Amino acid sequence: MVSNTESFECGYIYHIYSHANGKDLIFREDENYQYFLNKLLKYITPVADIYAYCLLPNHFHLLLRFKDVDENEHKHLMKPFSNLLNAYAKAYNKRYNRKGALFLDFLKRKKVNDERYLTKLVHYIHNNPVNHGFVNDINQWKYTSYNSYTNLSRPSKLERMPLMEYFDTTENFIKYHFSNVEYDFMDLE
């Protein structure tokens, strides 16, 4: 487990994820997902390129690469995540008349060190709704970046081309997502 005090490193790709506190839900309705995505764009895209995401009712996954920033800003890369989670939790608590922490006290993250791990993570993130039984087919879950990759002609705020280099074509990307990829969950989470 990584503490909140550990700094992110610029130029590296990270798998970032968090879970609801206890048995709470983070997302109850479509508006919640949309609000979170808007806050993600506001707080995170200034410091990181987002490659992939998946939002589920009680947790989320992000795959992103931190942009190169000057050294004074480097030690403050955790702040946008704090702002994102706090802004979302405050709005959520107000809307549902609840109090207390919405997210676990820490943001989990894992640095991506190689191509094989990166492609497995993309598969894992996009297939998360299937793995958790929310849908039978990843095309059915609308709170993931998967469909953005299957239609590259549609504009997107995601940085898709760096990931697509690993798959060459959209067809290869789709085939990979429907293939059986074995992953060691200790490496992924």
pLDDT of residue 28: 96
On the question of pLDDT at 1 being above 70, the answer is no
On the question of pLDDT at 147 being above 70, the answer is yes
The DSSP-derived string for 48-75 is EEEEEEEEETTEEEEEEEEPP--HHHHT
Average pLDDT (126-130) is 95
Cα distance between residue 63 and residue 4, in whole Å: 18
In this structure, of 51-60, 111-120, 175-184, the range with the lowest mean pLDDT score is: 175-184
pLDDT of residue 5: 43
pLDDT band for position 3 (50/70/90)?
very low
Average pLDDT (52-80) is 83
Whether the CA torsion 158, 166, 55, 113 is positive or negative: it is negative
In this structure, of 20-34, 62-76, 108-122, the range with the lowest mean pLDDT score is: 62-76
pLDDT of residue 73: 54
